[in-house]
Amino acid sequence: MPPVLLVGGGRMGSAMLAGWRERGVGQVVVVDPSPGAAGLAGAGVTVVAGVAEVPLGFVPEAVVLAVKPQMAAAALPGYARFVGRAVFISIMAGKTMHAIGGMLGVKAALVRAMPNTPAAVRQGITVAVAGAHVTGRQRELADGLLSAIGQMAWVEDEALLDPVTAVSGGGPAYVFLLTELMEQAAVAQGIPAELARRLARQTVIGSAALLAVGDEDAAALRVAVTSPGGTTERALAVLRAEGAWPALFLRAIAAATERSQELSD
């Protein structure tokens, strides 16, 4: 792995670092001022508090921007000195390449990407778009760094990253909410709390495993478990009623997409 500068050692940054370590880390410098970031240091990994402390002889081929989008204006200009030498990979939600280029310089080689939190167990999915100044080799490097935390997909239209953020970026929260609601509903029907928790969690885990191993899509799997006139059909009639789940999900994804667009400002 070529030298990498990781800006931000939070949940997603540390997940990426763990994936790189599994693939054989080369030399990584992590910039993060938080006290807990020191624990990321190890073989091949140096942690510093700020960009001014990055060793002068360290020349990264990739700079991964894993800071919160609200911190971008203050954090990014200090990394402009790497423009022309490194590809910048941003995982900041909502921040467009135009906005990032305004902070680093218009000639910066930029890749904008949206991973999601299952990256922590290398089961994430990341969608990325490459800017005009990114070379073929730099795109391959970005692909390798991002695929270390799960599946990768590339798109040509940057505007697609707003709905991608809404669907897969926030998607784990929707699944966790479903699990939470199933647990609460089970308790409401008299099932003991601990058993309710096990039922909800393992049902979601097992269903995801079925999706992972088979070729059938979600709709086919749903039909297979829904017996005509049975209990599941009765429940789905409630969930799919006018104004219920289908309409609510459309509204939810639209709202999250809108918020991602707002964060670009």
Question: Which candidate, 16, 132, 5, 14, places its Cα nearest to that of 61?
Answer: 5
pLDDT, position 24: 84
Asked if pLDDT for residue 242 goes beyond 80, the answer is yes
217-235 per-residue burial string, b: 16 or more CB within 10 A, e: under 16: eeeeeeeeeeeeeeeeeee
In terms of Cβ atoms closer than 10 Å to its own Cβ (0-12, 13-18, 19+), residue 261 is middle
Asked if pLDDT for residue 263 goes beyond 80, the answer is no
Note the pLDDT tens digit of each residue in 203-225. Answer: 999 999 999 998 899 999 999 99
Q: Give me 243's structure tokens.
A: 């104004």
Distance CA 223, CA 225 (A): 6
Average pLDDT over residues 19-37: 90
**Better-predicted residue by pLDDT, 36 or 66:** 66
Asked if pLDDT for residue 86 goes beyond 90, the answer is yes
- Ordered domains of the chain (ranges, CATH): 4-158 (3.40.50.720), 171-262 (1.10.3730.10)
Note the pLDDT tens digit of each residue in 41-75. Answer: 988 899 999 999 999 889 999 999 999 888 888 88
Note the pLDDT tens digit of each residue in 154-173. Answer: 999 999 999 999 999 999 99
User: Which pLDDT band, with edges at 50, 70 and 90, does 112 fall under?
Assistant: very high
Asked if pLDDT for residue 35 goes beyond 90, the answer is no
pLDDT, position 7: 96
Note the pLDDT tens digit of each residue in 243-257. Answer: 999 999 999 999 999
Distance CA 189, CA 215 (A): 34
pLDDT, position 103: 94
Helices 193-213 and 218-225, axial angle in degrees (round to 10)? 130
User: Which pLDDT band, with edges at 50, 70 and 90, does 265 fall under?
Assistant: low
Q: How far is CA 138 from CA 55, 111, 113, in A?
A: 23, 9, 14
Question: Which candidate, 156, 76, 172, 74, places its Cα nearest to that of 123?
Answer: 172
pTM for the whole structure: 0.90
Average pLDDT over residues 134-139: 97
Average pLDDT over residues 106-110: 95
